Amino acid sequence: MKEIIRFFDKLEDKVRGRLAHFPITYAFVGAAGIVIFWRGVWHTMDFLMEWVFVIHQEQLTTDLARLPWWDGPLSIIIGSILLLISGLFVSNFIGNEIIISGLRGEKKLAEKTEDEVKIEVGAIAEIKEEVQKISKRLEKLDRRR
C-alpha cells in the first residue's frame, strides 16, 4: 500500500512541477477539476433527493430521467482525480504558493511538518531582525553625512 501511495505522491509532484511552468494551463486544469467535481456533487444530490422522495418535480436542475445513476459519482471521481494529480485537492486555496513551491521543488505547505514550519518562521524572524539592524546602520550613516 505504501508503494501505491508513494507512486501517486511522486506522480503528483511531477505533474505539479511541470504545470507550475505553465500557470494558465495549470489554472484551466484546476478549474476543470473543481467544476467537474462540484457538478458531480450537484447531480448526485439531485439524484438522491429524487430517489429518496420518489417525487418527480419539474423544478429539478437537471432532467435526471435521461441521466444514468452513475453520472454524478463518475463526475466526482473524475474531478477528484484531476484535483489530486494536479495537487489542488487539498491546497486549492493556497493560491500562488503552490506554483512557487512547484517551481522551487519544495514540499507543499500541507506536507510540511509542524517542526519544518516553525524552523521557517524562525528563519524569517532572524532575517527580519537582520534587515532591521542593517536599516538602523544605514540611518546612522545617513545622519553622519
In order along its 145 residues, the chain shows pLDDT tens digits of 788 888 888 888 888 888 888 889 988 988 999 899 989 988 888 888 777 766 555 555 555 556 677 888 999 999 988 888 887 776 654 555 655 666 666 666 666 677 777 788 888 889 999 999 999 998 888 888 7
The position carrying cell 418535480 is: 57
Residues contacting 140, CB < 8 A, separation 6+? none
CA 75 to chain centre: 18
**The three three-digit cell numbers of residue 80, written as one number:** 477528484
| CB-based contact 36:17 (threshold 8 Å) | no
Burial of 68 (0-12, 13-18, 19+ CB in 10 A): exposed
The angle at the Cα of 64, spanning 62 to 69, to the nearest 5 degrees, equals 130
Query: How confident is the model at residue 93, as a pLDDT?
Result: 47
**Which of 100, 30, 40, 124 lies closest to 75, judged by CA?**
40
Which pLDDT value is given to residue 140?
87
Whole-model pTM: value is 0.53
Quickly count: other Cβ atoms within 10 Å of residue 92's Cβ.
Answer: 15
pLDDT of residue 98: 59
Q: ∠ CA(18), CA(22), CA(28), 5° rounding? A: 105
